[in-house]
Amino acid sequence: MVLTYLLHRPGGGAVQVYVAVHDGVSSRACRVHLSKGARSRLEEDAVASRLVLRALASGCALDAAAQSLDLGLLRTEQQNGAADGAAAGPTFEQLQACALDHLLDSDEHMS
């Protein structure tokens, strides 16, 4: 099983969480855009961690456990895609490419 995860905090924008899992047969991907300023960074990380756990559970065919895990989303937020086994949002390959682009962009800003 392969999992790709990206937590993006664009300057001045809402935090974006992307997760994709591939089990060798199928891929599932999902995303959540968190409301700007609604949580501390630690609380944002906790939501992202629960999304990763939900994706892993779903990838291991534990869909009931995946669906029972509360992400802690606000009423104005929703999960798009399939950490719970439904049809996916971005593809696994698109998410990998996005993560790679983000890492390469971060490296340019660090030099």
Q: For the segment 6-37, what is each residue's pLDDT rounded down to a tens digit?
A: 888 887 778 888 888 887 887 778 888 898 88
- The whole-angstrom distance between residue 97's C-alpha and the CA centroid of its chain comes to 14
Domain, as residue range, for 9:
2-110
Which residue blocks in 7-40 are alpha helix, DSSP H? none
pTM for the full predicted model = 0.69
Q: For the segment 81-92, what is each residue's pLDDT rounded down to a tens digit?
A: 654 444 444 555
Of 13, 6, 51, 50, residue with least CA distance to 35? 13
Work out how many domains the chain is built from and give that number.
Answer: 1
Q: For the segment 54-102, what is each residue's pLDDT rounded down to a tens digit?
A: 888 877 778 777 778 888 888 888 777 654 444 444 555 665 566 556 5
